[in-house]
Structures are given as structure tokens and as C-alpha cells.
């Protein structure tokens, strides 16, 4: 390989990794259950029942969450919140730019307790939960079906 091709390959590797480098998903609410975040794939796997509060940032802007899902065999209730973690002087605001897929069906009960996003929801697949129990605010488009098994008691 010539020096030119090595330089181009190195530049492409840096440019590709920079695309995802700033996107950061975090759990900010002191989760009462287990979870795993894969920053490179922009996914969250919930591994035990509990309450989870996630947001995604990309530098100073809102970030993207590609998938939030519950691991097979989780018994108990999963309560999911997607909103910005509170900071000094901040009100609760959108927790992500886009959320591409949510699947809480593997929990005994999967609740979307709060969802606040600035962009689109469901680009990849349906949004699946047993209940929507709190604020459900999508500023962009809902691109796939929202599949609620039991009840909607929250404000949509």
C-alpha cells in the first residue's frame, strides 16, 4: 500500500469514528435495575426490572438512540423515561433527537413512563410497550406503529 492510500485510509477511519464519537447515551436517574449501553451501536439493553431514565447528547446537541430493548426473560415491571437529565436551572426537556426503536415486550410489564424527543420516533421498527403512563411528546414524525398492549393513561 502506498503512503497516499495509508493516509486516505487513516483519514476515512477518523472521519467515520467522528460521526459517532460525540453521541453519548447515559442513564441519569440512578436506575433501580440493570442495563447495558453500547455507545458505538447507540443501543440500550435493559437486563432486569426497574426504573430507567435515559438521554442522548451529541456534543452540545441532542443525540440519537437507535434501540432500547428488554432482554428476554425479564420478570417484573420496566419503567422507561427518555428526557434530559435535570441540571442547575434546567427544566425537563427532550432527551434525544431521534429514537429509532423501543421494544419493552420482554418484560412482564413494560411502561413508557415519559418520552420527550425533538425529532422522529420509530424510524426502524414499531414502538412496543404494555402501557404509556406519562408524557409522550414527539416533535417530529412517528414513522412506525405504536403498539400499546394494555392502556394509555399519559398525556400524548
Average pLDDT taken over every residue of the chain: 87
Question: Distance from CA of residue 122 to its chain's centroid?
Answer: 11
**CA–CA dist 106, 129 (Å, integer):** 9
- Tens digits of per-residue pLDDT, 23-70? 999 999 999 999 999 999 999 999 999 999 999 999 889 999 999 999
Strand partners, 103: 69, 128
pTM as predicted: 0.84
Coil vs helix vs strand at 8: helix
Of the candidates 60, 133, 52, 53, the residue with the CA atom closest to the CA atom of residue 86: 53
Coil vs helix vs strand at 129: strand
- pLDDT over 70 at 118, yes or no: yes
CB 94 within 8 A of CB 115: no
- Tens digits of per-residue pLDDT, 77-103? 999 999 998 766 666 689 999 999 999
Amino acid at each position: 500500500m502506498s503512503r497516499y492510500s495509508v493516509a486516505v485510509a487513516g483519514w476515512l477511519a477518523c472521519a467515520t469514528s467522528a460521526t459517532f464519537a460525540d453521541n453519548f447515551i447515559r442513564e441519569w436517574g440512578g436506575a433501580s435495575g440493570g442495563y447495558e449501553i453500547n455507545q458505538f451501536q447507540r443501543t440500550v439493553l435493559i437486563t432486569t426490572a426497574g426504573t430507567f431514565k435515559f438521554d442522548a447528547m451529541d456534543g452540545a446537541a441532542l443525540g440519537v438512540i437507535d434501540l432500547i430493548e428488554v432482554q428476554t426473560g425479564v420478570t417484573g415491571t420496566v419503567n422507561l423515561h427518555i428526557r434530559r437529565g435535570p441540571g442547575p436551572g434546567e427544566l425537563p426537556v427532550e432527551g434525544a433527537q431521534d429514537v429509532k426503536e423501543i421494544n419493552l415486550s420482554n418484560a412482564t410489564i413494560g411502561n413508557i413512563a415519559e418520552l420527550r424527543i425533538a425529532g422522529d420516533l420509530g424510524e426502524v421498527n414499531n414502538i412496543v410497550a404494555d402501557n404509556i403512563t406519562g408524557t409522550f411528546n414527539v416533535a417530529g414524525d412517528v414513522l412506525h406503529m405504536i403498539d400499546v398492549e394494555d392502556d394509555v393513561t399519559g398525556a400524548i
